[in-house]
Amino acid sequence: MGGANETAEGIINLGGNENAAFAIRLVSVQRGYDPPRDFTLVPFGGRRPMMAPPFIADELQISRIMVPCIPPLGVFSAWGMLTADVRHEKLRTVVATLEEGNLSEIESAYREMEEEMVELFRQEGGYSGPTLARYADMRYVGQEHTLKVPPMPPSIGTGNLGEALRRFHSQHEREYTFKMEGNPVEIVNLHVVGMVSASRVKVPEVEREGGSGRPKAHRKVFLAGSEENVPVYDRKEIPASTHVQGALHSGGGDCHYSRP
């Protein structure tokens, strides 16, 4: 039976690393991108760069890892929140065949949802003039499943009926390799998406000079079944274009700092 270090490592592997490896398989193998070893693993955040080499990369047989080392971009989740556009989506169920007799009801529902969307942005943060887009969940009459059709015409009237049908037939053929243009089509759900572009944060350049580039300490780390004496660096003290030798159990690795 293993000691405390082995037990702790087992908990981390089962509780975190196995889940991460499974998530990568979901977006790779199960989408037809096989094998994962043909790709580069890009771990980021506060912990993943430490855990990716000894477990996740080995589990997925990935031999190449790229760790973003530029200090402002290390924590991508926070960076994404700062730079993400403000986006809302409204959905309303309106089951109606897409034919001239129902167009006024569909158009009226879309317009009401758009007005609600504009008011939502105003109340949320004083945003004005959001960009609006219409989508629709559609299907052939008699089908159980629906397709979310890309942005619909700016208005659903007699003049745009043909365009709305064309987009559905095209999307259905793209998803299922066939279309039935003579069959009646019905709308099940209406979607209105509103978006306001976020202000972009300027990324500062990393100075090529300055900083010692040397480790500030060494620390014993239990890694992949054994203890390693690894160097500890302060990222702010590492100039651009510096290579830092790692201490990976698979034979070492390095991190290359470059100008962003």
3-state secondary structure of 31: helix
240: CB partners within 8 A, 6+ apart: 206, 207, 208, 257, 258, 259
| 16: pLDDT strictly greater than 90 | no
Q: Which two tokens stand for residue 53?
A: 């080499």
200: CB partners within 8 A, 6+ apart: 83
Mean pLDDT in residue range 209-223: 79
pLDDT at 251: 41
CA distances 13 to 4, 52, 224, 254, Å, are: 14, 11, 10, 23
| 255: pLDDT strictly greater than 60 | no
**Radius of gyration for the chain, computed over Cα atoms and rounded to the nearest angstrom:** 26
Topology annotation, domain 85-196: Dna Ligase; domain 1 (3.30.1490)
HEC string of 207-250 equals CCCCCCCCCCEEEEEEECCEEEEEEECCHHHCCCCCEEECCCCC
| 72: pLDDT strictly greater than 70 | no
Residue indicated by tokens 């976020």: 198
d(CA 99, CA 91): 21
Q: Is the dihedral of CA 79, 81, 82, 88 positive or negative?
A: positive
| Span 205-214, pLDDT tens digits | 666 666 677 8
| Span 85-136, pLDDT tens digits | 899 999 999 999 999 999 999 999 999 999 999 999 999 878 888 999 999 9
Q: What is the DSSP string of 97-129?
A: ESSGGGHHHHHHHHHHHHHHHHHHHHHHH---S
208: CB partners within 8 A, 6+ apart: 239, 240, 241, 259
CA distances 81 to 20, 75, 78, 130, Å, are: 21, 10, 5, 19
Query: Domain residues of the chain, as ranges?
Result: 4-79+206-256, 85-196
- Percent residues over pLDDT 70 in the chain: 78
Find the farthest-apart pair of alpha carbons in the chain and give their distance in angstroms, rounded: 76
pLDDT at 47: 66
Split at pLDDT 50, 70, 90, the class of 55 is confident
DSSP 8: H
Residue with the larger pLDDT of the pair 79 and 159: 159
How many other C-beta atoms can be found within 10 angstroms of the C-beta atom of residue 237?
14
| Span 134-179, pLDDT tens digits | 999 999 999 999 999 999 999 988 889 999 999 999 999 999 999 9
